[in-house]
Chain A
């Protein structure tokens, strides 16, 4: 019975991470400031890295965390600094 409870707790954590990532995606899509949108996308990537850890894929966490939280937001921030920051109506 103890193990059954812990299984439910793990699934509960995964469901909460999924809902939080949906909120982060919504904030990233509707945000007009592109720097904030990139930061929300990085937050969503960290939630996905946690989700990969709970889906028993630690090798993907090792690759995905530096790529999706470090490299892609960095490159997008360089693009925004070279071009324009605000999305017009």
Chain B
């Protein structure tokens, strides 16, 4: 009973720290003036949302047995498949996050290229100075 309360409390600490990460990165995207800092904050934000997605598929310990990665390592008999379905975590959010990580890499590369072009045009990456300039 008490141990169960401590487990829920620890998971609450994890989730609230991830939520603080989301708030900090949104602050960084909107209120930090430098372009590179905005790109860094955007990558951290996408990673945090990916972590939330993986957490959806996670499962707490069932009957004092630890959850397993969704990989079937023994020949598929009926007993092994039942045991697998009782203990393995959900593989679908992991597949989605795998796609999102690669797409995030592509978006970051595009933004870095855009920043390089921006610096070649304006000779600065500070957004407050770029807003004052024209052409």
Contact = CB atoms under 8 A, between A and B. Distances in A.
B114 to A, nearest CB: 10
A68 B104 CA distance: 10
Given A8-B6, A83-B36, A18 B69 contact: no
Interface hub of B17, B57, B66, B119 (most chain A Cβ within 10 A): B17
A58 to B, nearest CB: 6
A3 B65 contact: yes
A22 B17 contact: yes
Interface in B49-99: 50-51, 54-55, 57-58, 61, 64-70, 89, 94, 97-98
Nearest to A34: B36
A21 B24 CA distance: 12
Interface in B91-135: 94, 97-98, 101-102, 104-105, 108-109, 112, 115-116, 119, 124-126
Indicate the size class of the contact surface on chain B: 35 or more
Contacts of A64: 47, 101
Interface of A: 3-8, 10-12, 14-15, 17-19, 21-22, 25-26, 28-29, 34, 37-38, 41, 44-45, 48, 51-52, 55-60, 63-64, 67-68, 71-72, 75-76, 78-80, 82-84, 87-88
8 contacts: A3-B66, A11-B10, A26-B24, A34-B36, A52-B54, A55-B51, A78-B112, A82-B116
